[in-house]
Structure 1
């Protein structure tokens, strides 16, 4: 399974929603604290791109040499329709400073030096040390996961449903059991099964591990082909 640091790093570098919370800073519009872009530097620092007039930029400017604490809050929502769509949340907290002269006119890059992090997702909840966050790598499928899950749901829905045959007694007597691809990483595919009886119906998740970790989309295609063949055999 991916480590807590890898999962946190993946969320930071994914397209999931994020908001920067700076104590004492309020924004007239919530989207003013939503970074337009984010990336992670070589030493594990998180770089956030904001409009130059953002309340976060003004706060970092006024703080100057004082330490300005901030928390990057991330919310990961499944890109396909499933019951209980929030897959996880992460919090990356630290100290915020400006990085002048890097962004294009009208924009400002802010640097969040990571002090601590915490992730609570489908794997569980766990704290993450800054050094572990800096050393971790995002999942190689992170840039493609949304598209891949939506493709599985819309084009390969029948094959995804066939995976219920691998559940054995757990799926016995559940002819109307539905399946939706919930999450995908280099180690495997997670499906959410539900009985289809509305939002209060019963649902559960099942993880299908790949024979070996995949490094790219090409490797994923081979792994998925193996998985679908196992369901048909």
Structure 2
């Protein structure tokens, strides 16, 4: 059983949560696993292909690095314009151990083609920027382009359809690249402070009933924490006074939460 809660409303009343477009862009830019599916292929070609790396171009196309022998790569080999439709399916799993670990899913659908040889250097540079340390793709890797026709997300914020123009204009959350390590650090080193946050959403005396307290999600607007007992879980959203733009501002915002809980 789940309940939800909210504490410490943000000072910026109109900017409490990321838009659907930003959430999809964050999924694309983050560490969530992704596969590419070609609808309508013969059964032998329907197996989803794991996406090794992805990035979004300035025009809003999604650049994909896939195995050269994957069904998606073979389908795109002789494709032109809008001959091949494809869907990238993204599964967002919490980077810390917690019951009901899947935080959401995203879908980006559109038309698939190979990146022209002349555009490969720029595309590879974008991929390397999104995935620092990405090895130089060898002959076993293919570089494809997904021209976005629509996108959709179903996550802890709810379900939302995203138009391609909104997807192209959105930016990923500035904490997306660091979220996994930040949540893991909070879980490993700040358990008592996380537990104290319960006092911000209810009676302090009731906090002892929650046996596990796990940081579940982090973005520039706030921190989501899951409190679990033997037969129930409770999600609480703790909003920052103002959206943060990087790690220094995040440290200040987290201290503000912990200080408020201990007051």
Under a length normalisation based on structure 1, what TM-score does the superposition of the two structures give?
0.92
Measure the CA separation in 1 of the matches of 2:81 and 2:153. 30
Gaps of 5+ in 1: none
Q: Indicate the residue corresponding to 2:158 in structure 1.
A: 124
Q: Indicate the residue corresponding to 1:180 in structure 2.
A: 214
| Structure 2 counterparts to residues 148-163 of structure 1, below 5 A | 148-163=182-197
Greater relative contact order (CA < 8 Å, ≥ 6 in sequence): 2
Q: Indicate the residue corresponding to 1:67 in structure 2.
A: 83
Judge conservation of contact 2:37–2:46 (CA < 8 Å) in 1: no
Correspondence 1:222 to 2:227: no
| Structure 2 counterparts to residues 4-23 of structure 1, below 5 A | 4-23=20-39
| Structure 2 counterparts to residues 187-202 of structure 1, below 5 A | 187-195=221-229, 197=230, 201-202=231-232
Q: Indicate the residue corresponding to 1:167 in structure 2.
A: 201
TM superposition shift of 1:53: 2.3
TM superposition shift of 1:81: 1.3
TM superposition shift of 1:64: 3.9
| Structure 2 counterparts to residues 48-59 of structure 1, below 5 A | 48-59=64-75
Measure the CA separation in 1 of the matches of 2:174 and 2:42. 35
Measure the CA separation in 1 of the matches of 2:73 and 2:109. 17
Judge conservation of contact 1:25–1:56 (CA < 8 Å) in 2: no
Measure the CA separation in 2 of the matches of 1:142 and 1:173. 33
What secondary structure does 1:117 align onto? strand
Residues 25 and 105 of structure 1: is their aligned pair in 2 closer, same or farther, counting only changes over 3 Å?
A: farther
Could you list the structure 1 runs, at least 4 aligned residues long, displaced by more than 4 angstroms after superposition: 25-30
Residues 100 and 26 of structure 1: is their aligned pair in 2 closer, same or farther, counting only changes over 3 Å?
A: farther
Correspondence 1:203 to 2:236: no
Measure the CA separation in 1 of the matches of 2:252 and 2:201. 21
Measure the CA separation in 1 of the matches of 2:80 and 2:24. 29
What secondary structure does 2:91 align onto? strand
What secondary structure does 2:182 align onto? helix
Correspondence 1:110 to 2:152: no
Judge conservation of contact 2:45–2:71 (CA < 8 Å) in 1: no
Residues 100 and 158 of structure 1: is their aligned pair in 2 closer, same or farther, counting only changes over 3 Å?
A: same
| Equivalenced residues, count | 227
Q: Indicate the residue corresponding to 2:108 in structure 1.
A: 92
Under a length normalisation based on structure 2, what TM-score does the superposition of the two structures give?
0.82
Residues 20 and 213 of structure 1: is their aligned pair in 2 closer, same or farther, counting only changes over 3 Å?
A: same
TM superposition shift of 1:179: 1.4
Q: Indicate the residue corresponding to 1:142 in structure 2.
A: 176
Judge conservation of contact 1:100–1:108 (CA < 8 Å) in 2: no
Give deviations 1:85-141, integer Å, cap 9, x for gaps: 000001100000001432644122100000001100000001000000000000000
Residues 160 and 21 of structure 1: is their aligned pair in 2 closer, same or farther, counting only changes over 3 Å?
A: same
